[in-house]
Every structure is written in C-alpha cells, then in structure tokens.
Structure 1
Amino acid sequence: MHSKKFIVSGTASVNALKKYSVSDRGILDKRIKVNPRYAGVRSRTNTGFNTHRRQELEHEIRKYYKVRNDEVFRRIPLADLLQLMVAHAEDSRFVESYQYATEAESNGTEVPIKYRDEVETVVHKMTQFQIENKPKPPDCPYVIIDVRPCHEYQEAHLATAVCHPYSKMSRAVGWESQDMLMYKNHPEFIIVIYDDCEDIAPEVAATLQHRGYENVFLLSGGLRLAKDKFGSPLVTNDCSTTLKQEVVDAIARQLSHTVLPPLSMADASDWWAATSKLPNSAQPSDNEVLPNPSTASTGRQTSRSQLKSRDGQPVPPWR
C-alpha cells in the first residue's frame, strides 16, 4: 500500500512541476533581463588570435572575396594597389620638382642672339619628329577600369578609375577602349579590373585573358572592400584621372593603420601579426594589470595568517 501511494504521489508531483524547473524544456526560452550598464561588457576575455577572432576573419573573407580554383587571371590586393598609387604620386612629384629646377637653371643661361633662332628651329623639328614617329608611353604605370554600368560609376568609384562597362565586351568591333589598347601587354604597366563585390569583374578579367591580355589583374574585394575599410577620399565621384596631393597624403595615412583581410585562412597568422602591431589593436597592453583570482585568494590567506590569536600563536589559514 505504501509503495502504491508513493508511486501515485510521485506521479502527481511530476505533473505539478513548476514552469522553470530543471526538468522543464521551456527553461531554454527564458529571457534574461539585460542590464544596460553592462551591455558593452563581453562575457569572456577576447585576447590573442582565438576562435572568436578566427570566426570573424573567416566571415570577412567570405564577405569580400569570391576566390575560385579555376581562375585564369591574377589578383592584386587592395593594399598593393594603394601602395603603387602612393609611390607613383611621390615619384611624379619628385620628377616635376626636378624638371622645374632644371628649367630654372637653363633659363638663366642665355643663348647668343645670332644662334638662338637656329637652336629653336632644330629643337622644334626634333621634338616634332619624335612625336610623329614614337608613340608617347603612358605616364601612369597602371590603369584602373571600372566595369560597372555608367550610372553606378558616376555615383561612386575608386580614385583615378575610368569607366568601361562590361556590356561592351560582347561587341564584335570596338569593344576595347583607348586606355586598354595603350596598356595592353606592356611589360611595365598593369590593367586592374574591379566591380562592386566580384560579381562581374572575374568574368571580364577571364575574357580579357582569353583575348590576349597578359597584364590583367583583378582587384580583390572590389569597391565594397574599399568603402568599408577606407572610404573617402579613395572612394569618390570625381572623374579625374590624377591624384591630388591631399588625396595621396590621406590614402597614405589610412594605409598606415589599416590591415586588410587576407585572401585565405592560410595567411591568417601573418594577418594577426600585422594587426597586433597596430597602435589601436584590441590586445591588452603590458602595463595593464588584470585581476587574477588565485592572487586575490592568496592575498586573503596571507592577511588571515598574519592575524594572531589571544595567546600569540598565528591562526592557521585553513580556519
């Protein structure tokens, strides 16, 4: 009898469980009230290249890059392109200053009057002969081609980029622009193709590669990566093909404290090494002292052991 009553009472107690007891599956749906004072505090320490940072890096790689195993073209990282742009702008400024100084020195030495006309005539003929018989090479070692539609190019594009919509690639005649013909297969120049997020540009780069362009590079990440990591003045609506000095200085400053995500997780260690060297990295500094639970407990034990009882004997720390 007692066992039956015990079973019945046990069954009744199971049916009368509270809403959020240990056996209730609905406890997983219980909402915990968030304290706004500690809303920005993370639940765990986020230091070093841990699993959380690795997942964030994998998410960025999937967001910006669409690398395929059967690509026939080469890629150029955004950081390398920006370094090339800054270096070319600095070299151009140095050459201009040198030419200005040379012209100032040559203007100081005057040619005698009876030979001046003959010298000017010879120089003019030689200059005209060189212009007619020798094509002038481009001043810039790179050309950036935006293959998006024209209205998207006018809204925002990379600085010094030119527009050549991908729809022109389907033409039988006249599908090449003047810039493409000028830079085609030049040993010292490159052609950089980009779009918004690598949707159209890989196909255009592969088509150019199959049509005989050997110096075509795809900009990894496209315009989306430039917008998110740099923004203005790298991304602009100005159609000028030359970089102003203030734009060059701004790009150089942004490049000095920005580390872009790598193409694959194989370079994750190099990315973290470069990120940890930045002044605004999220690593704890050496001067920062973090609380240690073992140190705190040891301190309590030490202070307790220093206490003495009435008879002068030290109190054991385990009491």
Structure 2
Amino acid sequence: MSDQTIGNPQCLEKLAKKNPKYEHIKSKLDTGPNLSNFVEKKLKTYLRYSKEELFKRMKVTALAKLMLQVASIAELEENEPGKKQPDPGVVSVQPSCFHRSTLQSVICGVGELDLKSDMQNAAKETLVPTPDLADRPYPDCPYLLLDVRDDELYDHCHIISSHSYPTISLCRIINPYTKEVLDYRNAMGKIIILYDEDEKLATQAATIMCQRGFENLYVLSGGLKAVARKFPRGMTTGSFPAACLLLPVSKGKKCCKVQPPPQPAETRQRFTSDELSILQQRLEEMNNNSNTSSKNTQSF
C-alpha cells in the first residue's frame, strides 16, 4: 500500500463562497464587547429600524444634534482667519465687454456702439444685491430636510432649513423631483429626511421613493408633534398646528395649551445664534433629565 493520504489536506482551509442572497442575514451569536457591536448599539440609540419598512428613521434629538454640528462647522469655515469673506449684501460682477452692433443692426440703424451708455451700464452691474445669509443654505450641508405637507401648511409652520415638497409631487410623470432632491439622491455622505405632522404622509412618500431607488432616505419619528413636545422653541418657524399642541388627559378629554397669536413662517435656510443656543440648552436639559432618571432607577 502507498503512504499517500486520501484527498487534499488543504480542503478544510478553503472558504465557502458568499451567496448574495443571504448577505443580509446576521449571526445571533453574542461575541462580547467589540467595535462592531458598539457602533451598532450607538446607531440604534439615534436611529430606529423596522423590518416592514424600506426606509430608516431618525429621532428629533438626533436631528437637533446634526443641525448644531452643521451650523458650528459652517461658522468655523466661514470665519476662518485669513479667508477673505465677500460682502453679504453686494457681489462684484466683472463688466462685460462692450456689445458691438452686428452688420444687420447697423444697416437697420439700431444698435450702434455707444461708449457712454455702455460705461453707465457697466457701472450699474458692478453692484448687484444678493440674498441675505439666512436665505443661503449651509455649505456642503449633509442633510436635505423635506416637508411633505401642502404648501399652505408649510407657509404656516415648518422646521428651519426645510424645503417644501408635497407628496403630490411624486405623482408627476415628468420631473417629479426637484433639483435639491436629485443632488442628494444616494449621494455619498448625504441623507434625505422627510417629515410631516404625524409621519403618516412621510412614511407613504418614503416608501414610494425607496421603491424608486432611494437608499439614503430617513423619516423623522413623530413629525412636528415630536418637535413640539421636545423642542417647542428654536427648531421651527411660525406657529405649530393645533393638532400638535393637544395633549390627552386621564379623563378622556383633551386640553389645549394657550396658544399665542398665529405667526407666518419665515422661509430661511439658517438658524440664528439665539435659536442654536436654545437647541443646545434644550439638549443639555434632556440629557441631564435622562441621567438623573437612570441614577434613580439604579438606586432602587
């Protein structure tokens, strides 16, 4: 008999080919504290997932933290020392070359070269007013916030830096998406967040958009109702809808808070310094309350 072994001894070292059909299935074995488990737990604290939903969810507190980070980074970049900042009210325009009349216009007796008028027009074009800083979005903003309610409701109240994008826009056969939506669609490092009053319209719109190929789509959990409960000031402009301010009572009746006179919403893309400080203070209050509650539960 020969001393040769049966089979290849390295066959056990071969790795099985991965089947893309089962790539989404993860092991339920707890491997202990490691980096992947830590990152997954951190994501679950800010985002919520559901097996039946094609999109992801974002908490209102996570959105507030994201807004503060974007505003602080934009302020640092724009106020960077040594960087020349343009005047927000005036932008310089290079005077264009004098338009010389064509042969046909000269024949007709119009369009002759007039140095004096051209110089006056060039002087007028050197100072052109630009939109205020509040109307301009943050540079390289990583999120696009879309209000899927009707335009009338958007004009009464909406989250600052959001764009109006009613759900009826998805029913269009031609150009169902705005330029901003196309720029953020599946872009690296950017997300799209949908919201409404109670996330009913937002979930429907998000499902349709995910079925059409959107992969970086989020829905704001709770909508404006959650914003009114956690951030009554600082995050929105205008007056909250009455449905967002109703609180249930134990007797089965509903009591309504005393509402200030309604104010129209402002269309702007940036937060003021006061609004950012209000958001920061509110986040610190909620963090302190959660820490005290956790300490009380541990004491029992």
Identify the residue that residue 83 of structure 2 maps to in structure 1.
102
Select 1:244's aligned residue among 249, 253, 272.
Answer: 272
Structure 1: tracts of 5 or more residues without a match: 1-65, 105-136, 260-273, 287-319
1:78 alignment counterpart: 60
Name the larger-Rg structure.
1
Cα distance, 1:244 vs structure 2: 1.9
Q: Which runs of 4+ in 1 moved over 4 A?
A: 66-69, 281-284
Shift of 1:139: 2.2
What is the 5 A alignment of 1:223-234? 223-234=224-235
Q: Secondary structure of the equivalent of 2:176?
A: coil
Q: Distance in 2 between matches of 1:276 and 1:83?
A: 16
The unaligned stretches of length 5 or more in structure 2 are 1-47, 86-137, 238-264
1:156 aligns with 2:157: yes
Q: Is the 2:195–2:202 contact (alpha carbons within 8 Å) kept by the matching residues of 1?
A: yes
| Matches of 1:69 and 1:203, distance apart in 2 | 16
Matches within 5 A, 1:115-154: 139-154=140-155
* Letter of the 1:254 counterpart: R
1:110-164 per-residue CA deviation (whole Å, 9 max, x = no partner) reads xxxxxxxxxxxxxxxxxxxxxxxxxxx9621111000001111111111111101
Shift of 1:242: 1.4
The alignment's TM-score, normalised by the length of structure 1, stands at: 0.50
How many residues align? The count is 172
Alignment match, 1:114: none
Check conservation: 1:196, 1:222, Cα contact below 8 A: yes
Contact 1:257–1:278 (8 Å) recurs in 2: no
Q: Residue 207 of structure 2 aligns with which residue?
A: 206
Q: Determine the C-alpha separation between the residues in 1 that align with 2:186 and 2:210.
A: 11
2:281 pairs, out of 240, 250, 253, with 253
Structure 2 CA distance for aligned equivalents of residues 276 and 194 of structure 1: 26
Question: Partner of 1:191 in structure 2?
Answer: 192
Shift of 1:102: 3.4
User: How far does the alpha carbon of each residue in 1:248-273 deviate from its partner, in whole angstroms, 9 at most, with x for none?
Assistant: 111111111126xxxxxxxxxxxxxx
Q: Is the 8 A contact 2:74 2:139 kept in 1?
A: no
CA contact (8 A) 1:138 1:182 kept: no
**1:1-319 equivalence runs, <5 A:** 69-98=51-80, 100-103=81-84, 139-236=140-237, 237-258=265-286, 275-278=289-292
Give the counterpart letter for 1:188 in structure 2: G
**What CA deviation, in whole Å up to 9, does each residue of 1:168-217 have, x standing for no partner?**
11111121011101111111111000110011100101111111111111
The one-letter amino acid paired with 2:66 is L
Provide the C-alpha distance between the structure 1 equivalents of 2:159 and 2:228, rounded to a whole number of angstroms: 9
Q: Kindly provide the CA deviation profile for residues 222-252 of structure 1, in whole angstroms up to 9, marking residues without a partner as x.
A: 1110012211221212210112222111111
Higher strand content, 1 or 2: 2
Structure 2 CA distance for aligned equivalents of residues 256 and 283 of structure 1:
18
Q: Sort the Cα spacing of 1:247 and 1:200 in 2 relative to 1 into closer, same or farther, 3 A.
A: same
Distance 1:81 1:71, change over 3 A: same
**1:268-297, CA deviations, whole angstroms, 9 ceiling, x for partnerless residues?**
xxxxxx744249x9969x9xxxxxxxxxxx
Counterpart residue type for residue 103 of structure 1: K
